[in-house]
Amino acid sequence: MSAVPDGKKLIRSPSGLRMVPENGAFTSPFSLDEPQWVPDKECPRCMQCDTKFDFITRKHHCRRCGRCFCDKCCCKKVALPRMCFVDPVRQCAECSLISQKEVEFYDKQLKVLMIGGTFLVTVGSSEKSETMVCRLSNNHRYLFLDGESHFEVELSRISTMEVQTEGSTPGGGLSRATGMLLQYKPPGSQDPQQLRMEAADDKKTASTWFAAMHKAAKLLYESRDQ
């Protein structure tokens, strides 16, 4: 078994082996809690195809939703980084599709956010912009902004996040992300602060970063609603 990274510990749950922060306060804001499994006595039949469980047809719980299925309806093992599982875990068809899309976010977009980019940053109602490097912290909890000044924005304190784009695609998706506008509450304050970020010189890198942040926002708000 590989070594445990600093600041993390291995725990075993009914669903599998997980690697989680030693201090729960440092959990990634994208993380989801493990679901409560539907009790065996409450699911005599598969919750997808309605097949009756017996000695031959065994029941299995989806590690993402906790519902009960037969093997055919819950046969896929897919990585589930939002619950910190070390290995791929059994999931139903619906949940496995969602998790596969999230794996792409963790493998690609999250790395883009952590590498960061250079942006023109405007704070509050100021008319002055500052060139700053912005990146997501390694624990995914903060946006670090560095220029002549330095400050941090905790993702959990962001109330709204809007990615601004140019043009549109037939499917209604992002065509070219050009900026981002967010509101957050600074530490010790209940008054929201506005932060505007726009592409600096490297517009391609900035657009990729904004698009990745757009996907991050969806996961962030989903984890809050759980």
β strands within 70-157, DSSP E = 76-78, 89-91, 117-123, 130-136, 142-146, 150-154
Q: Report the candidate in 224, 226, 220 with the shortest Cα–Cα distance to residue 30.
A: 220
Return the number of other C-beta atoms located less than 10 Å from residue 63's C-beta: 26
Verdict on whether the full-model pTM lies above 0.75: yes
Q: Which two tokens stand for residue 89?
A: 């875990």
Q: Residue 134 in contact with residue 197, Cβ under 8 Å? A: yes
Count helices and strands in the chain by DSSP H and E runs: 3, 13
Highest mean pLDDT of the ranges 38-47, 151-160, 179-188: 38-47
Please give the CATH architecture assigned to the domain spanning 8-104.
2-Layer Sandwich (3.30)
Least confidently predicted of 20-24, 28-32, 82-86, 132-136: 20-24
- Mean of the per-residue pLDDT values for the chain? 88
Give the DSSP per-residue string, 146-178: ESSSEEEEEGGGEEEEEEEEES--TTS--SEEE
Q: Give the per-residue pLDDT at 6.
A: 61
Q: In angstroms, what CA-CA distances link 36 with 15, 66, 72? A: 10, 6, 22
Best-predicted range by mean pLDDT among 2-16, 25-39, 54-68? Answer: 54-68
Where do the structural domains in the chain lie, given as residue ranges? 8-104, 116-225
Please say if the pLDDT value at position 202 is more than 90: no
Closest to 75 measured CA to CA, from 55, 54, 61: 61
Query: Do 8-104 and 116-225 share a fold?
Result: no
Cα dihedral angle (111, 114, 115, 117), rounded to 10 degrees? Answer: 120
Rounded CA separation 178/167 (Å): 10
Confidence of residue 99 (pLDDT cuts 50, 70, 90): very high
Q: What is the pLDDT of residue 1?
A: 42
CATH class, domain 116-225, is mainly beta
